[in-house]
Amino acid sequence: MTPAFRRLTLLSLIITTHLYAAPATTTALAAQPDYQQGQQWLQQRLQQRQQQRQQQKEHGRAQNVILFLGDGMSITTLTAARILEGQNQGLSGEEHRLYFETFPYSALVKTYNTNQQTPDSAGTMSAITTGVKTRAGVIAIGPEQDRGICQGAAAYHQPTLLQWAQQQGYATGIVTTARITHATPAASYAHSPERNWEADSDLSREARRYGCRDIAWQLIHQAYPAGLDIALGGGKRNFSRDGERHSGNLIADWQQQFPGGQYLENRQQLMQLRADTPGPVLGLFADSHLDYHLDRSGQQPDLAEMTRAALAFLQQQKQHHPQRGYLLIVEGARIDHGHHAGNAKRALDESIELARAVQLADQLSDNNTLLLVTADHSHTLSMAGYPQRGNDILGFAANQGLLLANDQSPYTTLGYANGPGGSANARHSERLPGRILWHQPEHRQTEPHSDNFQQAALADIYAETHGADDVALHARGPGARLFQGLLEQHEIYHRIRRALQQEN
């Protein structure tokens, strides 16, 4: 150890010790009535746990499954989102829980693809929906097939959970705030060696030569005829020549196939959806992805509204056929997009919206329903510094005053390892979140509570990347006890089937 490094280490220890030992902060914490300590708090937690077990049917066969997928909802995202939701309710935030974090069972899930340490959504969601871990970029196709190569791909198609459920007589549905043809929802019904083949205009010459079909075509001409009951999301542009298609009008094709079905294009039509129709239902509420919740107009439904409509429709299908259960997959897609933009506020707000949809589904479903909440992968969001208890999660790190970096500038608690918030963007962005003198009047447009604020990033790149760390899974209902410990991602598929198929 060099003398310089020894001095640096000693200085770090002194600073850390000082922060940990701040007497005023400790006294303030002890005075808070919600501070979690002592025998009384422990007894309350044990009673809550016993009540959860008594209220929930955790054994026996699940009749229905609702799988919620927070795209890119890393564990740090959960922590920051629960604090934000709590602070929005007037709490300090740290003691708060997102609704699904009260579920009695939880697990960690490893997310790597067969060819990448840090995964993409196509490979991770394919692992969840097929039970086969595979490559990045491919949709429900085994790892033997190279990405972007159509020739020979059909030999490695992997049946998806929804396809299996349809064969078993279950009612099935998909809800997403992304394009319905985007990688994550597509992995529940389509097979493609390239996630970007959403419309026929996206297909390569090689794909056309060997007969691969685009994802939108597969939804209309394969997934619905096979038994898909309802799909709600965005991506209308991929279904007609007015958008991205070179040929045909898939919406017209769908309406011709299902003259008794209901096609929806806006929130008002969704609110008027009759659950007792024989169906099926197709809802495309935006040309591309649905707007972020913070930006959404009254023309587009939110995630909870789509979840309510899909659940009511599937439950009505079950009433027509009492022995028929249902399987619903719900994706909060724009968590991921907020992170890619280096915009933690939108990512956290979308996570809170997902929790709201989970709460609604839990209230509307019966005790024969297994609810699962997980993510496909993480992101590089981090929480750092030594902010005091209750410090504004979207604000600057502070502990009895602003905490300053070596350049004497404040920094936010939240930041990214890479992304558009890198310091090189200082010359080009009015929303620069990097190391500038935040407290100077001319830089007030970089106020960290702005909806468009981008957190500081270590590496300056156009779009923030996924992370490689594990994600969380939370479970409630019959079969929930199967989801504990450290899981490989493709195990989720097999454990869902086990929960549906046998007394567990």
Peptide bond between residue 280 and the one before it cis (omega within 30 degrees of 0):
yes
d(CA 143, CA 138): 8
Q: How many residues does the chain have?
A: 504
Residue 465: exposure state from Cβ atoms within 10 A (0-12, 13-18, ≥19): middle
Which residues have CB under 8 Å from 53's CB, separation 6+? 104
Task: Give the closest residue to 134 by CA, choosing from 204, 194, 76.
Answer: 194
Q: Which residues pair with 264 in a beta bridge?
A: 283
Q: Which amino acid is at 219?
A: L
d(CA 310, CA 304): 10
Given CA atoms 501, 218, 376, 285 in this order, what sign does their dihedral have?
A: negative
d(CA 382, CA 384): 6
* Alpha carbon separation from 108 to 101, 169, 351, 376, 474 (Å, rounded): 13, 31, 18, 12, 9
Task: Give the closest residue to 222 by CA, choosing from 194, 247, 186, 249.
Answer: 186
d(CA 275, CA 267): 15
d(CA 216, CA 240): 10
Task: Indicate which residues carry an active-site annotation.
Answer: 121
d(CA 437, CA 345): 21
Residues 410 and 401 sit within 8 Å (Cβ to Cβ): no
Tokens of 89: 């309710």
Residue 450: exposure state from Cβ atoms within 10 A (0-12, 13-18, ≥19): middle
Give the SS3 label for residue 264.
strand
Residues 405 and 441 sit within 8 Å (Cβ to Cβ): no
Give the SS3 label for residue 459.
strand
